[in-house]
Amino acid sequence: MNLEKVIFGFFIINALTLNFGFFIGDIDNPDHHHVYELFAAIVVNLIATVLKFGDRTQMGAVLLATSLVADLQLIAAAFVWTMAVHVTGAGLEPSTMSSIVSLSGGALLANVISVAILVIETVMLRR
């Protein structure tokens, strides 16, 4: 068993599950979406992105692209959250929370594509 591939797969799948955990719940209810879960999703997605830099194949390029999209979406969600709570002082209105969760939904889709590519690449490997 290759430890490097285990760690790589762990972070890709963990990024998906953390993102899913934040995404699930009523879209406009802040009680269903915790800021620390969004933070954890961002950190794990960034780690997964760094791990994808070494692969020079076409599949690796697509994996990196999906990871960059997920990072962008999650960072945008954190930016919206920060602006709503700390800059404008408006707080987490239902429309703001909907925007944050929608952005994390885009990241979730990118993470699903990333895991699908990982599974396809694993199935295509020959022993």
Q: Residue 79: is its pLDDT beyond 70?
A: yes
CA angle 41, 86, 93 (to 5 degrees): 80
Token representation of residue 52: 């994808």
Query: What percent of the chain stands above pLDDT 90?
Result: 74
Residues for the chain: how many in total?
Answer: 127
Segment 91-103 shows an average pLDDT of 93
Alpha carbon distance 110, 113 (integer Å): 5
Rg over CA atoms, the chain:
16
Helix pair 58-82, 94-124: axis angle to 10 deg: 160
Alpha carbon distance 65, 22 (integer Å): 22
Tell me how crowded residue 29 is: count the other CB atoms within 10 A of its CB.
13
What are 41-52's pLDDT values in tens digits? 999 999 999 998
Q: What pLDDT does residue 127 have?
A: 60
Q: What pLDDT does residue 2 have?
A: 85
Token representation of residue 111: 């993470």
Confidence of residue 57 (pLDDT cuts 50, 70, 90): confident
Q: What pLDDT does residue 71 have?
A: 97
Q: Residue 126: is its pLDDT beyond 80?
A: no
Residue linked to tokens 């999209």: 69
Q: Residue 67: is its pLDDT beyond 90?
A: yes
Confidence of residue 90 (pLDDT cuts 50, 70, 90): confident
